[in-house]
Every structure is written in C-alpha cells, then in structure tokens.
Structure 1
Amino acid sequence: EITVTLQDGRQLDAELVGSDPRTDLALLKIDADNLPYVAFGDSDKARVGDWVVAIGNPFGLGGSATAGIISARGRDIRLGDYDDYLQLDAPINLGNSGGPVFNVAGEVVGVNTAIFSPNGGNVGIGFAIPANQAKDIIADLRENGTVERGWLGVQIQNLDEDLAKSLGLENARGALVSEVVEDSPAADGGIQPGDVITRFDGEEIADPRELSRLVASATPNAGAKITVWREGRSRELTVELGEAQAEAQASNQRGGGALGSSAALGLTLRPLNDADRATLDVPSGVNGAVVTAVAPGSPAAEKGIRPGDVITRVNQQEVNSVGDVVAALNGARERDETALLLVRRGDSQRFVALSFS
C-alpha cells in the first residue's frame, strides 16, 4: 500500500502506475481534484552556476527547502548505465529523493536522487535527474507502465590516444566495440569487435556512455543508422534494435531513496545469459543474476562483491532471475533481516551477508 500525504495534512491512497528501477523514478496516481501542480522546465538550458532550490523530506521533515547552485552537468556517478546527473551544492540528505529541484523561474529542472557522502550526511555534493530525462520516462510510465529501451548487444569501452592512433582515428572520440553478443541486433547488423561506433542515428558519439543513452532512448524493434570506423574508413550500417532486458538496482530505500554510500546495498544486476556462462565459467545448471556494478563504499563493496559475480541464492532460496533476487532482497528488508547471498565467482562460491541497517 502507498499513502500520499498532502501539504494540508490529507492522506490519500495512491496507485503505482509504473516504476523504472534503472533511473529510480516512479509514477503514482491519486484520486483528488483541484490540486496545485508544478511544471517541468528545460533542463538542457540549465547552466553551471544557476541558482536552484531543492525541496524534499529529509529525515521525515517534509517540505524542507534548501538553496544552492548547479555545480556541474552530465555527471556519471556509476549508479547505472544512463547516468547524466545535475550536480548540486544545495544541501540534500537521505529522504530528499524524489523531491523537485526548482530554477529561479519556479520550473522543475531536476529530481533529487542521490548524494555523495562518506558518512551518510550532506557534504554539498548532491545529484538530480535532469527534468528532460524525467519527462521522457514519466511519459513512458503513464502510457505503458514500464520504460521500453533499445538494445544493441555490444560490449564497449573508452578510447584513449594510443588506441585511437592504432586504429587510424584522428581523435579519441567514439565507442570501441570489444565484444558483440551472439545473435544480438549488433551481430545481425554486421557490427564487429574492433569497430569504433562514431555516430548513432545522426548523433555524433563522444564516448561509450553517450552511446548507451542514445541506444536506450531509441525505439525497440526499429531500424537505427550506425556509423562505424573499420580498417581505416567509415562504414554505414543499419541495425534493427532489440528491447533491453529488465535490469534492476537493489537498495535499502523503500520505493527508491537518496543513496548515500553507507545506505545502499549498492548492487546493479542483469540476467545471466549464455554468453555470461562462457565468459564467467558458470555451469549450465546454475541460474542467477550477474552483478554488473557495485557502488563504491556500499555494503556490497565492503563485503568484496564485484562486477562479474553471480548471485545464485538469497536466504537459502534459489534465484533464477533479477526479479527473484530483487524480490528476495525486498522481502528481507521488509522483515528487517540480513540478506544471505550465495555468490559464485568462477569455479568457486561463498556466502555473503548484507545488512540493511
């Protein structure tokens, strides 16, 4: 059950229209009339140095407002594949997550989502989802209840000057393909390991992160024009994108929360596929979810979990998917229990206990 408390003290039951764990956003619906509302602004026009006001519910203190400036744009803090945060110095604490960030015109230019902190409290480094990204996700949730994302099926890495020079490129811009997933859209479209993807549907690619965002925002099962650099020249390819498989983050905030380094499990997971079994030496009879990222300073990081580990059991129950893992972790959190994970790495495995407190 979800209850929304309004400014006048009324409490209303809310319906969860949809949620997107990858960006920590959800859309709720309540049955009420004549409610005041705020409007989204254009976050692309927000500049470093602009004054902003952040509203939230830190430590249960509802309606708290703090002021500051936009410290940086396009921050990647490794919470997911689509990080593109506004960095703020307006004080943000646990409980601010989901609150609006206003510009001086009273428009919402961001949604509070995370803090960087060595101790769980504010140190003047907070992050907000840009309004333009939030608008697109909310539109998908309103229409479909989920967010559909395109999938290409490649492993990509950054270029440096030495790599660029060895490939005959004039600069280190683009995304270098290190691996192509078998039977993926990329494989079917002719992309090869060693290709450098330089443009996607007419947009120039600066780095792998930009390519990931553009692919994710593209329509699944639709054609995309991709320019690759191969053997000293550019080639134009057309690839029919697939739909990204469900991926989830496990955190200890109910319904999402500002993720301090001491307040999150810090796990990002994705389904275990056949390519993973070969790469990670996982037998065919073993199921689970692959760890794709571990937040620095998180409980998972402190217990030695790292990307490439495979979670096969939670609290002595076998898990066959990301959904199973997340459901089991959520159940442990609801019961205030420690989560006991069986983690496989290569041909060995070990138990790891993670606490939500």
Structure 2
Amino acid sequence: MKKIALIVFAAFIGGAAAIGGYKMLEHKNSDLTLAEKQHVLFTSNPASISSTGSVDFVQAAAAVSPAVVHIKTTFTSSGSGDSGSPMDMMEEFFGGGRSKRSRIPRAASGSGVILTPDGYIVTNNHVVENAEKIQVILSDRRKVEARVIGRDANTDLALIKVDATDLPVVKMGNSDNVQVGEWVLAVGFPLDLQTTVTAGIVSAKSRQIGILGREQQQPTEEEYEEYQRTGKAPVRAANSAIESYIQTDAAINPGNSGGALVNANGELVGINSAIASQTGTNEGYGFAIPVNLAKKILEDFKKYGSVKRGYVGVTFQELNADVAEDLKIDDISGLYVNDVMPNGGGAAAGIRKGDIIKKVDGKEVFNSPDLQEKIGRMSPGDKVMLSISRDGKLQNVSVTLKGDASIGRPKTILASKTTGTTMGKLGASFAPASAAAKAKYGAKSGVVVTGVEPGKLFDSFDIDKGLLITSINGKPVNNAKDVEAALPTSKNGKTTISGVGPNGNYTFSFN
C-alpha cells in the first residue's frame, strides 16, 4: 500500500512540476521577439531538403499552406476603400483591365502569413490600410477578427494580430541567401480563390519599381522650370520609401498581396506585394519584400507600434556611364552624394557632397536598393561602415544612424478629423505651371497635372496629364504644397477642383 502511495505521490509531484514549468515557459515566451519565438519552434526541426536541391515542392507546399491565411477587409460607406484595397498595388503600377469606376471597392481581400502560434500575422500595408474591419480566415475555416499592431507605407508592410493559439506558422528564412535562378513558391489567395500554390524562379534581386513613395517625388518649382528649359528630368533625392524587391516569375495575381514567397525548403524569404502587368493579372513578373527587411520592421511594430528608422542623412543618385559623363567624373558605379543633411549621421562622420559610396559594411553597392535595404534593417543609434571614394581614394567611414527628428526630416502630422480628401486619394502629381502656360489660358495661378495613377479619383474623372488646375476649394494653387494645403479646407467633406484646358473651364466636386 505504501508503495502505491509513493508512486501516486511521485506522479503528482512530476505532473505539478511539468505544469509549472510549462506555465513559466509560457510566460517567458510572451516576452520573446518574433524571431526568438520562431527559433524555439524550429530549432529542433532542421531542414530536410536543400533549398535548390529538389524540384518536388509537395513537402514545402504542405508545410506552408496551413499558415497562409485569407484576409478580408471592409470599408466605411464613405468610400475609403480606394486606398485600402489590395488591388491598388496591382493596378496603380500596371494599369488593370477593369472599368474605371468599378475599381473602388467596398470590400477587398488579400493574404497573410502566420509567424507565431499566438496569432501574429504579416501582410501588406495596402491590404489593411483604412480598413474598418479586418477578418482573417484560418486554414481550419475559422473566421477571426484581427487588429492592426503596426503598418508602414514606406515598406508596404503591416503586422496584425488575432486572438488565437496553437496556430500553424511559416518559418522565416534568410533572404540574403536567395540566389537568382533559385526555385520559389508563391502561396496565397489570388482572385479570391482558396489557397493557391504557384512555382517559379527568382528572376532578380534588389529590384526597384517605383511604386512606393510617389508623393515624395513631386518636382519642385525650380526642378520643373529646369525640365522645361533643358528637357532633362531632375535628379531626385532618395525618399523614405524602401524598395528592394525579390523579382520572381511565380504566378502572382491580385489577392496574393501579403502572401508567402518561400524557398523549396518551405522557408519564408519574401512577402508578395506587387505584379508587373498591363492587364492587372499575372504576366510573369512578381515582386516580394525580402524577409530580412521585414524582420526589423515587424519587430518595431511589436515593440513600438511604428517603425524606428535610422538614416545616414545624405541624398544620392546612382552612377552609370551617362550620369558620370554629366558629372564629369570617372566612376561609373556606386552612389554619388548630392547633398549632406545638417546634423545627420553622414555629416557627423565627415561625408561630403561629391563623395561616392562604394560599399556598405564591406558589401559593394550599385544602386539605391543595395543601400536602402541594408539601412532599412537598422535603427537610430546603430553604426554602419561606408566605404567612400573621394578624389579617387577609397576610405572607410563609420556612420552612426540618426532618426527623423535628429536630421530635420519632415514628419507627417495627422489631423484629428479629416474634413476633405488627401493627395493619395487624388492619385495625381503636380508641378508649377509656367508663365507661358498660365498666359495661354488667362490664368493667374495654376499647377500642371504631371501624372495620373490608375484607379484613383483623377483617373475616374478622366483627368489627363497636362491639364491646368487653378484652384482647389476656392484657394489658388501654384505648387504641390498649395494643393496639399487646400485639400483639407473643404466644406461638409466636399472637395471642389477648378481648372482650364483646351476645351475651356471645368469644375468638378466629390465627397
């Protein structure tokens, strides 16, 4: 009897210790970063096949598909869905084949990738931006509501969270190890279909396609006058957008946004974001955000709710034979420093205008994405080693990155109540009208429409490039800043734009 009692007592003690240990681990795990949580999950589950050693993707597809979720978003009846639809990134860049007025949805869908068993999910910013309600459909067909933890338009990334446990996850890989020609899979919910897996290869890396940060590329009055006089496009300073996409020919379509790009080992190497197409559907070119960039952004979301980004504090342009000839220099590769921001890390390190950035932490750079992605993974206070060429001599410079406020970068201020539309909703770019253009139409003020984005308001009203806009909400406009300042002054939420063109005066209003 004593022996039985001892066995029961020992079993009780063992069970209590196991439960206690589990609870302690559970509490400890709640403080882990996303990467640390993944390490706990996958450290004892090593890769079973080479990333490029197999053309049978059954195992990778089976491992990843349960952790790629369908995201459905709804918008208010006032119609903010035009900037929140995952279709936007597809159609803005590539046109799209649907009728203009049908492009603004009241509901939309995209994809997401579960990173942790407790419900952290990565997706694209444009999938959830302005959404009133975010619904996630899990692989077991459960529908759960999600909340936004953080999102960033400059990288088109967002982190959302659902209240669920024991969810399947996708292991984060190393996008630096991805090779051109390597097999990859795209997993998501294209065209509102159920889980779909497509295969292709990596076509290119560090690809910049110009889809992000278009509003930051408005030409100044001086640049536009120079363009009119010489016909040469202005040199653009680097903006806050970070584009260093992995390009793939795996079939990606609208609805794949936010889904997984994985290697043949089933490891997440990118977040699918955009396609290149004249029709709005796949034509063989897809683009994914490298997971190594995403890791830093997502951890910032989890810790702070926003991105803490470090800056070198210089503007630059990519060198090639033509640019080198214009600048009268011999170097045809690297990044030519156009300007150094006061109080920035670059200025403190002694970088000067005319220096050429050749390497970042020992890695050679040829274009903007090479530098921007590397810096995008770092935070204010981090140090980066830049190799610069000055007067034909190479030297290393240690730069301590600084944040927005330190270098006087303009910060976005959100109004407490939006009373009008926004530049993004208009979907157009503007430049100051020349004196000749204003004289031609007898206008005292005006900006010229220099670009129209498919699917946005100007496109839906059939406003073309070249038209002269004279006033917005009754206020004269002479540059892009005037346009931006006039938009919030609408009455009762109605925006009125007036202008003049070859067919006479025109005015249109919208809510």
Shared fold (TM-score, shorter chain, > 0.5): yes
For 1:211 and 1:112, the matched residues in 2 are separated by: 21
Match of 1:153 in 2: 313
Quick check: 2:318–2:366 contact (8 Å CA) kept in 1? no
Match of 2:295 in 1: 135
Match of 1:62 in 2: 194
Superposition RMSD on alpha carbons, in Å? Answer: 3.9
Over 3 Å counting, the alpha-carbon distance change for 1:226 and 1:33 in structure 2 is closer
Q: Deviations over 1:84-124 (max 9, x none)?
A: 21222222111110111232222222211101111211112
Partner of residue 12 from structure 1, selected from 139, 144, 152: 144
1:17 counterpart letter in structure 2: I
Deviation at 1:167, TM superposition (A): 8.2
For 1:265 and 1:96, the matched residues in 2 are separated by: 25
For 2:199 and 2:163, the matched residues in 1 are separated by: 32
Alignment partner of 2:269: what SS?
strand
Matched, 1:25 2:185: no
Quick check: 1:101–1:128 contact (8 Å CA) kept in 2? yes
Q: What is the TM-score with the length of structure 2 in the denominator?
A: 0.49
For 2:341 and 2:487, the matched residues in 1 are separated by: 32
Give the unaligned 5+ runs of structure 2: 1-132, 213-240, 413-424, 430-449, 467-478, 500-505
For 1:181 and 1:214, the matched residues in 2 are separated by: 20
Matched, 1:199 2:199: no
Match of 2:174 in 1: 42
For 2:319 and 2:140, the matched residues in 1 are separated by: 54
Match of 2:73 in 1: none
Quick check: 1:185–1:241 contact (8 Å CA) kept in 2? yes
Deviation at 1:68, TM superposition (A): 2.4
1:82-97 to structure 2, matched below 5 A, reads: 82-97=242-257
Match of 1:2 in 2: 134
Q: What is the TM-score with the length of structure 1 in the denominator?
A: 0.67
Deviation at 1:183, TM superposition (A): 4.1
Partner of residue 400 from structure 2, selected from 226, 240, 243: 240
Over 3 Å counting, the alpha-carbon distance change for 1:267 and 1:27 in structure 2 is farther
Match of 2:285 in 1: 125
For 1:61 and 1:246, the matched residues in 2 are separated by: 42
Match of 1:317 in 2: 488
Over 3 Å counting, the alpha-carbon distance change for 1:78 and 1:42 in structure 2 is same
Over 3 Å counting, the alpha-carbon distance change for 1:72 and 1:166 in structure 2 is closer
For 2:348 and 2:508, the matched residues in 1 are separated by: 40
Alignment partner of 1:242: what SS?
coil
1:135 counterpart letter in structure 2: K
Quick check: 2:205–2:244 contact (8 Å CA) kept in 1? yes
Alignment partner of 2:204: what SS?
strand
Over 3 Å counting, the alpha-carbon distance change for 1:125 and 1:247 in structure 2 is farther
Deviation at 1:236, TM superposition (A): 4.5
2:145 counterpart letter in structure 1: D
Over 3 Å counting, the alpha-carbon distance change for 1:60 and 1:247 in structure 2 is farther
1:1-357 to structure 2, matched below 5 A, reads: 1-80=133-212, 81-161=241-321, 171-244=331-404, 303-304=464-465, 309-310=480-481, 312-313=483-484, 316-318=487-489
Deviation at 1:294, TM superposition (A): 7.2
Alignment partner of 2:376: what SS?
helix
With 295-304 and 127-136 compared, the bigger mean Cα shift is at 295-304
Deviation at 1:184, TM superposition (A): 3.5
With 103-112 and 229-238 compared, the bigger mean Cα shift is at 229-238
Deviation at 1:196, TM superposition (A): 1.5
Q: Which has the higher strand share?
A: 1
Quick check: 2:172–2:269 contact (8 Å CA) kept in 1? yes
Alignment partner of 1:138: what SS?
helix
Quick check: 1:174–1:208 contact (8 Å CA) kept in 2? no
Number of corresponding residues: 291
Q: Which has the higher helix share?
A: 2
For 2:340 and 2:498, the matched residues in 1 are separated by: 29
Deviation at 1:340, TM superposition (A): 6.8
For 1:163 and 1:17, the matched residues in 2 are separated by: 43
Over 3 Å counting, the alpha-carbon distance change for 1:162 and 1:304 in structure 2 is closer
Deviation at 1:158, TM superposition (A): 1.8
Over 3 Å counting, the alpha-carbon distance change for 1:351 and 1:233 in structure 2 is farther
Match of 1:280 in 2: none
With 184-193 and 145-154 compared, the bigger mean Cα shift is at 184-193
Give the unaligned 5+ runs of structure 1: 249-263, 269-292, 320-331, 344-349
